[in-house]
Structure 1
Amino acid sequence: MDLTVVGCSGSFPSPDSPCSCYLVEADGYRLVIDLGNGALGALQRHCGLYDVDAVLLSHLHADHCIDMCAYWVARNYRVGGCPDPLPVHGPQGTAERLARAYDMDEQPGMKEVFDFHTLTSGTFTLGPLRITAAPVAHPVEAYGFRIEHGGHVLAYSGDTGPCPELTTLARDADLLLCEASFTHGLEDIPDLHLNGRQAGETAAAAGARRLVLTHIPPWTDTGRNLADARAAYPGPVEAARSGAVYHLG
Structure 2
Amino acid sequence: MSKECQSPGMQVTFLGTNGWYDSPTGNTVSALISSRDYDIILDAGNGIAKADRYISQDKPVFLFISHFHLDHTEGLHTLVKFRFRKGLSICGQVGTTADLAGLVREPYTVPLEQVPFAVTVTELADGLHELPFRVTCLPLVHPVPCRGFRFELDGKVITYCTDTGFCDNTITLAHGADLLITECGLKPGQKSPGWPHLNPEEAIRIAKAAKAKRLALMHFGAEVYKTIEERRALKAQFEKEFPGLIVSEDGMTVEV
The two structures have a TM-score, normalised by structure 2, of 0.81
In structure 2, how many angstroms separate the alpha carbons of the residues matched to 1:86 and 1:207? 33
How has the CA–CA distance of structure 1 residues 227 and 181 changed in structure 2, closer, same or farther, with 3 Å as cutoff? farther
Counterpart among 151, 161, 177 of residue 147 in structure 1: 151
**Residue aligning to 1:117:** 122
* 1:171 and 2:175 matched: yes
How has the CA–CA distance of structure 1 residues 229 and 131 changed in structure 2, closer, same or farther, with 3 Å as cutoff? farther
SS state at 2:220 partner: coil
In structure 2, how many angstroms separate the alpha carbons of the residues matched to 1:212 and 1:143? 18
**Residue aligning to 1:100:** 102
Counterpart among 55, 60, 64 of residue 47 in structure 1: 55
How has the CA–CA distance of structure 1 residues 98 and 246 changed in structure 2, closer, same or farther, with 3 Å as cutoff? same
Report the alpha carbon displacement of residue 180 of structure 1 after superposing the two structures with TM.
0.7
**Residue aligning to 2:184:** 180
Aligned residue type for 1:110: L
How has the CA–CA distance of structure 1 residues 228 and 190 changed in structure 2, closer, same or farther, with 3 Å as cutoff? farther
**Residue aligning to 2:198:** 194
How has the CA–CA distance of structure 1 residues 208 and 83 changed in structure 2, closer, same or farther, with 3 Å as cutoff? closer
In structure 1, how many angstroms separate the alpha carbons of the residues matched to 2:98 and 2:63? 16
Aligned residue type for 1:74: K
**Residue aligning to 2:44:** 35
In structure 2, how many angstroms separate the alpha carbons of the residues matched to 1:180 and 1:85? 32
Report the alpha carbon displacement of residue 89 of structure 1 after superposing the two structures with TM.
0.6
In structure 2, how many angstroms separate the alpha carbons of the residues matched to 1:192 and 1:50? 38
Aligned residue type for 2:81: A
Q: Deviations over 1:5-34 (max 9, x none)?
A: 111111112324221111112223111111
Aligned residue type for 1:46: Y
**Residue aligning to 1:74:** 81
How has the CA–CA distance of structure 1 residues 118 and 111 changed in structure 2, closer, same or farther, with 3 Å as cutoff? farther
How has the CA–CA distance of structure 1 residues 48 and 15 changed in structure 2, closer, same or farther, with 3 Å as cutoff? farther
How has the CA–CA distance of structure 1 residues 199 and 30 changed in structure 2, closer, same or farther, with 3 Å as cutoff? same
Q: Deviations over 1:64-109 (max 9, x none)?
A: 12212321x336xx7xxx967632111233233233334539xxx6
Report the alpha carbon displacement of residue 235 of structure 1 after superposing the two structures with TM.
2.7
Aligned residue type for 2:182: C
SS state at 1:155 partner: strand
Q: 1:154 touches 1:176 (CA, 8 Å); kept in 2?
A: yes
How has the CA–CA distance of structure 1 residues 170 and 185 changed in structure 2, closer, same or farther, with 3 Å as cutoff? same
* 1:24 and 2:33 matched: yes
Report the alpha carbon displacement of residue 175 of structure 1 after superposing the two structures with TM.
1.1
What is the number of equivalent residue pairs in this alignment? 236
* 1:162 and 2:162 matched: no
Report the alpha carbon displacement of residue 210 of structure 1 after superposing the two structures with TM.
1.1
Aligned residue type for 2:88: L
Q: Deviations over 1:198-246 (max 9, x none)?
A: 0011111111111111101233242454466446x43321211122222
Report the alpha carbon displacement of residue 48 of structure 1 after superposing the two structures with TM.
4.4
Task: Map 1:234-245; keep pairs closer than 5 Å.
Answer: 234-245=242-253
